[in-house]
Chains A and B, each alone.
Chain A
């Protein structure tokens, strides 16, 4: 056993993110690219190392291959520590069988031995699918100062969105008085961000108790937190004010990406004080050909642009051939756009080939708003034939 750890993080990265549709056909949501060169999980991992947390268990389940290889030894986030570091924790068999993770609480329950092997004072529960920067160490100090059993990170959300979150009410000093998951009639607009700090002993007891409850859905927000509140444990709300986004739908994913094109984006990754680490491959600098035109866009290393790119984001290793126009679009890593293509408001997945003369985002002829706010999505690893036409708001996916 190593040195006693103050805090170990458990990062829930097993979710499919099914509302991202074609984008999560082959990868888990935390492994989806964001902002050109990042993957969604980069934000949580960077926050961990930025907060001095050097031991992180990453709970994977859905389509883990890319996530596993992306995280590797954790060295890209300086998390390749002896006696700590990143540990990928998939569900596993044990004597008497084994099972998939049945919910967030069950996933952590199945890995209690990982936590106890580090013997921490606190456990930080995170979800790997949010875009934000946060100093968890400040939340940890708040937790310790209040002698809390559990601290939940919260932020104010617009009232009309409150029903989508775990909503809680807190007294002046931060002590939580009530909590309800996705309430029909929210009595406050303080939303849980799905970030919890538990005292380690309490977490073990709470999860064991939850496991034994046949009526529980094994979810932190649904089951564990309400039960602990009822039991009179001291739960505190840590108020976070900053950028935090759940890019759980195509529409929110698209708009969160596109916000980065603003002169002063609400989430300013370009601020040198914000250090988001990622597992970058070595690609050559971008090559902007003589015939190319690039305006109001983000472009990453390894790209080669011969066509026109306007209001768009090109991830690493993307090639845009001559005569093509990429407008209001997001192209994920390794994708090739052939000659004379037109892309309007499209998201094209990783390692996809778009054959020449294709048109993604063909305006719909009939009246009425197109589905998905008109955002066209092509899944990862597709090969679109020459002259493919996809109507706006459509999803192209083999499955």
Chain B
């Protein structure tokens, strides 16, 4: 399939992730032992044969560009097509919550007009899922719809914000309801929730964006919402595992969910690999004293202690008599001797000194800031 190109709108941030996104965009937040958030949608595109992908960069994009480079690890360092870094707009507060900002599309219109692909698949970079985008585009092309929105049919309980969709019997979208964070719960909301991914014909996308140039601070989804009567906008349900990271709680929750065998198999061990930047690390060493159960562990770690229901990142050292439970320990952090670490998200290069006891709660995990020492 070569008739689609990708657009990842990563110009989005949130204060809900606290120290985790203080110095990095959500798109490059480490996730799942060796990945960054953007790897999931980027791999979904690449696995569908898409070889032209634009990434709208957010504020503070150093770590994102460090990760993506020229796109080599996603086969996007190419002569024809490839990875396009599209500067996003910065205005107002740093933590802009508009995901599909029309202004970002206007400013990068060349990316959309220079290519001749028929369709554009547009996503954000804050969701964890492994989806066959190839069939999605095929289905969109066959249906004759103007736009196809991907949705989760049954709203997972934790999603209290986002765009809820009302669909008629033929899955045409009749109503879109945007619920802001912190809004009172409305039991009459439709159950289908927009999954931050849609397919649109490239020409129509360019036209629509152009018509809304005067109000370029709008979210493109609100543009669609205004045109439900004029355009044929249909929904396509994704039935696999999908979760959204938009807060510290949801980060840990989603991390723990990836430890469930079913989700884990679907995300990582299926036919469509998730690609990421390769670190050429040594194998992980498990000492005789290691005790590891239900854990995702990448290369380059040294484990001498106890790791349970947790996710480690490359280069983590777990010392003798350390106990780590329900936690995420990022790259090259050190967990010292006789420690207890539970419900903790330790960012990169954190040192947890000997004897420390650090516990968050299930609902309120504790975040240890990058390079901090305990």
Contacts and interface: CB of A to CB of B under 8 A. Distances in A.
27 contacts: A35-B283, A37-B282, A270-B285, A276-B280, A278-B280, A282-B274, A282-B275, A284-B33, A284-B274, A285-B296, A285-B299, A286-B297, A287-B268, A288-B293, A288-B294, A288-B295, A288-B297, A289-B293, A290-B294, A294-B286, A294-B290, A295-B286, A298-B285, A299-B284, A299-B286, A304-B269, A309-B286
B268 A284 contact: yes
A282 B297 CA distance: 14
Interface residues of B, number: 35
A245 B318 CA distance: 31
B80 interface: no
Looking at A36, A275, A294, A309, the one whose CB has the most chain B CB atoms below 10 A away is A294
A212 B290 CA distance: 61
Nearest to A263: B287
A286 B276 contact: no
Given A292-B293, A304-B269, A285 B283 contact: no
B148 to A, nearest CB: 29
Q: Please name the 10 residue pairs, one residue from A and one from B, whose CB atoms are nearest each other, closest first.
A: A285-B33, A284-B268, A36-B283, A285-B298, A298-B283, A296-B288, A290-B294, A285-B296, A288-B292, A300-B283
Contact of B264 (A76, A287, A297): A287
Contacts of B296: 284-288
Interface residues of A, number: 34
A297 to B, nearest CB: 5
Given A297-B285, A300-B299, A301-B298, 6 more contacts: A36-B282, A36-B283, A286-B296, A289-B261, A292-B293, A296-B286
B32 interface: yes
B280 A284 contact: no
B297 A285 contact: yes
B34 interface: yes
A275 to B, nearest CB: 8
B190 interface: no
B298 A286 contact: yes
Contacts of A291: 293
Interface string A62-102: 00000000000000100000000000000000000000000
Given A37-B299, A285-B296, A290-B294, A313 B283 contact: yes
B87 interface: no
A76 to B, nearest CB: 8
Interface in A263-315: 263, 269-270, 275-278, 280, 282-292, 294-301, 304, 309, 313
B179 to A, nearest CB: 34
A270 B287 contact: no
A300 B280 contact: no
Contacts of A301: 34, 298-299
Interface in B287-318: 287-290, 292-299, 302, 311-312
B184 interface: no
Contact of B287 (A35, A37, A296, A313): A296
B159 interface: no
Nearest to A42: B280
B1 interface: no
Given A37-B299, A301-B299, A304-B269, A286 B293 contact: no
Contacts of B312: 285
A384 to B, nearest CB: 23
Contacts of B264: 287
B73 interface: yes
Contacts of B295: 287-288
Interface in B239-289: 261, 264, 267-269, 273-276, 278, 280, 282-289
Looking at B276, B294, B302, the one whose CB has the most chain A CB atoms below 10 A away is B294
**From DSSP, what is the main secondary structure of chain A's interface residues?**
loop
A285 B34 contact: yes
A376 to B, nearest CB: 22
Contacts of B274: 282, 284
A278 B299 CA distance: 13
A350 to B, nearest CB: 16
Contacts of B285: 270, 297-298
Contacts of B269: 284, 304
A275 B288 CA distance: 26
A296 B292 CA distance: 12
B292 A292 contact: yes
Interface string A370-390: 000000000000000000000
Interface in A303-362: 304, 309, 313
A64 B312 CA distance: 37
B283 A37 contact: yes
A287 B292 CA distance: 10
Contacts of B73: 282
Contacts of B273: 282-284
Contacts of B275: 282
B142 to A, nearest CB: 32
A292 B295 CA distance: 10
A285 B283 CA distance: 11
A284 B269 CA distance: 8
A294 B292 contact: yes
A298 B283 CA distance: 6
B132 to A, nearest CB: 18
A295 B32 contact: no
Contact of A300 (B34, B284, B289): B284
A285 B278 contact: no
B32 A285 contact: yes
A382 B280 CA distance: 29
Contacts of A275: 280
Contacts of A295: 286-290
A142 B285 CA distance: 37
A292 B275 CA distance: 27
A286 B297 CA distance: 5
A283 B278 CA distance: 10
A54 to B, nearest CB: 18
Nearest to A314: B283
Nearest to B292: A288
B301 to A, nearest CB: 9
Given A284-B33, A301-B298, A269 B282 contact: yes
